Homo-oligomer: A and B are copies of this chain.
């Protein structure tokens, strides 16, 4: 059961068809989940801006660093050039190298890339070491290629899947979450979609409801729990916007995280990556010299509705990851319980009776 079924709304805008990042035209998601034996609880989530050769058809992109205690590969080239030339791979902290290798192999698999000597692989991570034998580095480049190959549109599997298989969020089982917002036509009709890998702490708040306090589980409650952890936030939109406004959009991802009670603790690697799938905004790798690029972008003045959409979709994607996750046991007998939906439902219903 997902939060909307309980009456949670997360803002004032309307989700897209699947309430997922794949509501943004052309976006594909593929996941490989590794659950083996007692100790392997990890995986790979791949997000593609389109199904074509991404290296040859780059997309405008930007990165915002909410808290940089993390290992995101590829960020500096995205910032310098304003574009992204690979799928986005999410995995665990010690498998970033596997992610890079997998992306290189995938990129080299295109015959027209046979003269490519440089690939800016984009690989994000959070640390699933509590449930997963992370030091074993069980993610291999083949898993990365497989996740990319499986990428598809439509509903996105959430919870204990892909890169979210072993993550923990607000002391509950975290995972992969997704959500989207479709702007009214009068505001442009564009879609903003978000996918998150949740692995962080704070004081959980669900659509304003102080769940962490009500459930008596939050950081510093007894000063024993750590708020550390990380959150990867991927924001896609079909709106035609350039890298500067994509960076501003990415910055709003952290505002969405804040609304769930996230605090970007010292140990958190909170990175937001935003890209546009607008077909007219693609940047071809090869071009004739001195031919001007003809871009048609939204103006600064038209950004605010997209900002709000990104905030709302990030908030909901994070909560979705918690609702979709299940109890998980893993390394060294560690167990993490899922969010107690039944209790959440009861709390929510008691609020609803007040006509809230």
Contacts and interface: CB of A to CB of B under 8 A. Distances in A.
Interface of A: 11-13, 65-77, 79-82, 93-94, 96-98, 100-101, 104, 108, 116-121, 127, 129, 134-135, 137, 184, 186-188, 202-203, 205, 207-210, 213-214, 218-221, 223, 227-228, 240, 242-244, 248, 251-252, 254-259, 262-267, 269, 271, 283, 287, 289-305, 307-308, 311, 347, 350-351, 353-356
A74 B228 CA distance: 19
B208 A263 contact: no
B244 A307 contact: no
Contacts of A294: 294-296
Nearest to A72: B76
Given A71-B73, A97-B101, 10 more contacts: A68-B76, A76-B271, A97-B98, A186-B223, A188-B290, A220-B305, A265-B307, A266-B300, A289-B302, A292-B298
Given A219-B308, A264-B252, A80 B100 contact: no
Contact of A263 (B77, B81, B202, B308): B308
9 contacts: A67-B80, A68-B77, A69-B81, A96-B100, A205-B208, A290-B302, A292-B296, A295-B296, A350-B354
A91 to B, nearest CB: 12
A120 B134 CA distance: 15
Copies in the complex: 4
A76 B65 contact: yes
Contacts of A116: 135
Contacts of A291: 299
A116 B255 CA distance: 30
Contacts of A98: 97
Contacts of A120: 71
Contacts of A354: 350-351, 353-354
Contacts of A79: 68
Given A73-B71, A76-B68, A290-B188, A255 B264 contact: yes
A69 to B, nearest CB: 5
A185 to B, nearest CB: 10
A304 B219 contact: yes
A248 B295 contact: no
A245 to B, nearest CB: 9
Nearest to A355: B350
A293 B296 contact: yes
Contact of A356 (B258, B308, B350): B350
A200 B84 CA distance: 23
A194 to B, nearest CB: 15
B76 A94 contact: no
Contacts of A80: 65, 67-69, 248
A65 B251 CA distance: 10
A223 B74 contact: no
Contacts of A292: 240, 296-299
Contacts of A129: 117-118
